[in-house]
Amino acid sequence: MVYNKIGKSGLYVSRICLGTMAFGPLCDEQQSFRIMDEALDNGITFFDTANIYGRGKSEEIIGKWFAQGGGRREKVVLITKFNAPMGEQDGANNKGGLSAWKIRRHLDDSLRRLQTDHVEIYMMHRGDRSVGWNELWPAFKVAQYQGKLDYVASSAFSATDLANANYEAEKYGMMGLLCDQHRYNLVTRQPELEVIPALRKHGMGLLCYSPLGGGHLSGKAMTEPGPRSKGRTLHDYQKAQLTAFKELAEEIGVKEPILAQAWLLQNPDVSAILAGPRTSEMLQDSIAALDVKLTDEQINKLQTIFPSHGMCKMGDVVTDRVEATDAYNW
């Protein structure tokens, strides 16, 4: 396994982050346990969840897995997220958005479900421009002093919101946002326009969710669409892209999902990709992508198939990576 620092922090994480959105709705507890055990056995120590995943079921499953012991909790760098309404217990606050109230209440609820006293990264699932940073940063600071979180992060923030959040953090003696989790893959290149340059400027990491474009790059979108791609209508240009993508994957000698993830992992702006496996095979595809080293010619072919916005050149920034050693005891 390969480990990176995230952005300007001192925190090392595995380049594969285990996404757990499927835990509960699509994977039962037993299957979820198997996936987490297999991930940890392969050196994946970075896990991502959210209070809204399965209406708290994902967090509950992870908590039960932690409770088995064996150093599971100690080995994992854990993200959970908040923003969504969580039900009647929120009363009048059962609405989407951010608030100091939610930071306190929803964080405590997440910790209870996760059976832990802290999370390494507490992430705003989406932004909320109706709420001021003079409300949010002090609340985050209190939770940090209480030892309930180590870092604050964001998901799907615009470049403007990233800049504002980091500017305001300085007023409260906070380091600002650790990273942003963004939808980024071969077919979703918009972050190259403004978000990735903003992350570079503010010393933040990039976590890529939906590395296969919601199943679009799985190799099955045209023949056996999965739960996320089923029912989509593919345009002629998309079919042509996927056909060329399949041919290139065959030329390189890897499966399409492995190639799609390898492209992301070779981008030095990417701290980690979020793999959301429902099966062991899906998890192994993500792990296999770490060993694929694309040539400049192959990257250029991918750029031809899936054109970028031309605003972000891979390789401009060098990140700090280390290989796993025996000290990790995987």
Active site residue 53: yes
The DSSP element (H or E) to which 247 belongs, if any, is helix 236-252
First and final C-alpha spacing in the chain: 9
Round the CA-based radius of gyration of the chain to a whole number and report it.
Answer: 19
**Is 17 strand, coil or helix?**
strand
The set of residues, in sequence order, having a beta carbon less than 8 Å from that of 236 and lying 6+ positions away, is: none
Distance CA 138, CA 213 (A): 36
The DSSP element (H or E) to which 77 belongs, if any, is strand 77-82
**Is 319 strand, coil or helix?**
coil
Q: Which of 3, 12, 53, 184 is catalytic?
A: 53
> Burial level of 110, CB count in 10 A (0-12/13-18/19+)?
buried
Distance CA 210, CA 216 (A): 10
Strands 2-5 and 321-323, by their bridges, are: antiparallel
Helices 256-265 and 280-289 sit at what angle, rounded to 10 degrees? 50
Distance CA 181, CA 192 (A): 14
Active site residues: 53
